[in-house]
Chains A and B, each alone.
Chain A
Amino acid sequence: MTATALELSNIDMHYGYVRALDGIDIAVRQGEVLGLLGDNGAGKSTLLKVMSGAHQPTSGEIRVHGTAATFGSPADATHAGIQMVYQDLALVDAQDIATNLNLGREILRRGPLGWLGFVDHKAQRRRSAAELEKLGVRTAAVTRPVEMLSGGQRQVVALARGATRVNGEQSGILLLDEPTAALGYEQTQQVQSLIRRLADQGVACVLVTHNLPLAMAVCDRIAVLNRGRKVADIPAAETENDHLVGWITGARASMFAPAPEAAA
């Protein structure tokens, strides 16, 4: 398979006396969707925050495309080609889709107007439409304000914003926190196929979710966390719902435990 995009080895994360993460080794390859499952408080979100640079691990090593990296802030991670799509989406409701997608990487007009900071709205709309086309999503006209979109369409826009920023010259890494938490069945399907398409274009995706059917449908590989430890890391095709539930609840012994009793 293709090269490893993001690799975390031996990550520890302590909050005071609490061990939120305990010796986590995890890696995701280009074009792969890695599902991150676990009960509330198992450490999924903490791990995702370590990946996105929002938290600094107590110890451990992070490698992006094979080079060691230290993230002091989310901006560092963004710079390294990692984008996070947050559960709260963080879209500017009053602005249209194109403006949202272009925020922070605006196209300026040529000539003197550009020097004054004038934005080329036309070019931005064209680029956004092309990017959405490439992702294969049809939401609404890119001039539609986000506040006039349904929940599913907003999620697609938020995903597309992350995707367009990692989908540049070198394929990046996209972190997704519960992308379907607020969505209905059909919208979930839509988001699911979008994630799949991104992976097919070479983007490495890490997906945190509570939704087991979604994880089984969209992920290539699934890792399960339980109380800060990785208890399973297995191709989605080689596992089944019951096993996953067992690992999540702790009823099933860890794949990595040397002996069954150590799993507790």
Chain B
Amino acid sequence: MTVTIAAAKAVNAEKDKDPALIRWLIFVRDRGIFVLWAVLLIAFSIWASPYFASLDNGILIANAAALTAIFAAGIAVGIICGALDLSIPGTAALAGCVCGWLITHGTPTGLAIVVALVLGGFVGLINGLISLRGFNPIIVTIGTLSVMSGAAAGIAGGYTISGLDSLVFMGTDRFAGLPAPVWITAALFALLTVFLTRTRDGIRMMAVGGNAEAVRRSGIHADRYKVLGFVISGFCAALGGLVTTALVTEANPAANVSIIFNALTAVALAGVSLAGGRGSLPRVLVGALILGTISNALTIKGVSPYWATATTGLLLLGSLAVEKWVSTTVSRRLVQHEVKR
């Protein structure tokens, strides 16, 4: 939730506070993943000493997690708003290829990037408008996934578009010591977090994901916010596609579907319910960072990367168990509380 310092003060000002246990459980649910990450960092610092706990390695982890995090942001916004957007790899490939094609055909780099990002939003708009007609968003986005990757291959003529050196400023270049993807990810998450928790449209969007009927009965056009979720998701996908392209200075028309599973793991680890309406982006970012941290530490210790995948899976199952335990405990406590009164 959106518990900030200001909110905490407001809570203190309340005369009736929640019982300590319930507040603690809410903390575990909302902030548990940060604690988990901290524990992992400390454990790995000791286990993989001295190589793990260095600033350079930290930057390495952040850079490795950046791409997953950008796609995870797209997935998370879609799910929070009530729809799993599977077209993300296709949109990413299309955005990369369109940008690459424009640059190789003499368009200024800046304009090419803007066109690719707008295109991503437009794909989201189409996804949203089709889904509003009552079709299942998963099937709709699988359809657009194929359309987009086909279109990307068509634009690129079936081959990768190489020599996109003018994009390195958002790929391998460093600013103030940090690689460009880290800056982009940080900016994206800051923007989306503020949007979802502080602005009227963001809050309504989350509410639509949670209970569209409640929003409709409040006299709000719920459908607009559903479409907005797809648009943001498409924008994130295009941004991720551009960063991917910039990292290798080549636009690859093949949609890489595995990015969905990485991103989805980060999202699920962050406790974003597939039912929609809940989740927070800072947690999604930490989810992506945890994935990066684990694979980084295991690589340092020379453990096979397969074990990183397996460990992540176990963590995911563990986080589900904690979530379940918290919600049952809270409901049991609440019933007792009610009876006592």
Q: Which residue of B lies closest to A52 (CB)?
A: B217
Nearest 8 A/B pairs, CB to CB: A104-B218, A94-B278, A90-B214, A92-B210, A117-B199, A94-B277, A92-B207, A103-B218
* A13 → B minimal CB distance (Å): 22
Chain A residues near B22 (CB, 8 Å)?
144, 148
B11 and A148 within 8 A (CB): no
The number of residues on chain A lying at the interface, defined by a beta carbon within 8 Å of a beta carbon of chain B, is 44
B211 contacts the other chain (CB 8 A): yes
B10 contacts the other chain (CB 8 A): yes
B302 contacts the other chain (CB 8 A): no
Near A by CB (< 8 A), chain B positions 172-209 give 198-201, 203-204, 206-207
A23 contacts the other chain (CB 8 A): no
Q: Among the listed B18, B203, B218, B334, which residue makes an inter-chain contact with A141, where contact means beta carbons less than 8 Å apart?
A: B18
A95-B207, A104-B219, A118-B200 known; 11 new pairs, CB 8 Å cut-off, are: A86-B217, A95-B203, A95-B277, A100-B214, A117-B199, A122-B10, A125-B10, A141-B14, A143-B11, A150-B338, A152-B338
Among the 9-residue stretches B1-9, B41-49, B139-147, B154-162, the one with 4 or more Cβ atoms under 8 Å from chain A is B1-9
Residue ranges of B at the interface with A (Cβ–Cβ < 8 Å): 1-3, 6-7, 10-11, 14, 16-18, 22, 26, 198-201, 203-204, 206-207, 210-211, 213-215, 217-220, 273, 277-278, 327, 330-331, 334-335, 337-338
A119 contacts the other chain (CB 8 A): yes
Chain B residues near A103 (CB, 8 Å)?
203-204, 207, 214-215, 218, 220
Residue ranges of A at the interface with B (Cβ–Cβ < 8 Å): 74-75, 78, 84, 86, 88, 90-96, 99-100, 103-106, 108, 116-119, 121-122, 125-126, 129, 138, 140-145, 147-150, 152-153, 186-187
- What are 27 A-B interface contacts by the 8 Å CB criterion? A90-B211, A92-B277, A93-B277, A93-B278, A94-B210, A95-B207, A95-B210, A99-B207, A103-B207, A103-B215, A103-B218, A104-B220, A106-B200, A117-B200, A117-B201, A118-B200, A119-B203, A138-B16, A140-B16, A140-B18, A141-B11, A143-B3, A145-B26, A149-B334, A152-B338, A153-B338, A186-B338
B206 and A95 within 8 A (CB): yes
Chain A residues near B278 (CB, 8 Å)?
93-94
* A185 → B minimal CB distance (Å): 11
Assembly CA distance A104 to B201 (angstroms): 10
* A30 → B minimal CB distance (Å): 23
Chain B residues near A125 (CB, 8 Å)?
10
B1 and A145 within 8 A (CB): yes
Q: Among the listed A95, A118, A126, A141, which residue makes an inter-chain contact with B199, where contact means beta carbons less than 8 Å apart?
A: A118
Assembly CA distance A156 to B17 (angstroms): 18
Assembly CA distance A125 to B201 (angstroms): 18
Chain B residues near A93 (CB, 8 Å)?
210-211, 277-278
Chain B residues near A147 (CB, 8 Å)?
327
Q: Which residue of A lies closest to B217 (CB)?
A: A90
B2 and A150 within 8 A (CB): no
Q: Among the listed B14, B218, B331, B338, which residue makes an inter-chain contact with A143, where contact means beta carbons less than 8 Å apart?
A: B14
Q: Which residue of A lies closest to B219 (CB)?
A: A104
Assembly CA distance A149 to B337 (angstroms): 10
* B98 → A minimal CB distance (Å): 30
Q: Which residue of A lies closest to B337 (CB)?
A: A150
Q: Among the listed B200, B327, B330, B331, which residue makes an inter-chain contact with A108, where contact means beta carbons less than 8 Å apart?
A: B200
Assembly CA distance A144 to B10 (angstroms): 12
Chain B CB within 10 Å, residue with most, of A86, A105, A119: A119
Assembly CA distance A74 to B213 (angstroms): 13
Chain A residues near B10 (CB, 8 Å)?
121-122, 125-126, 143
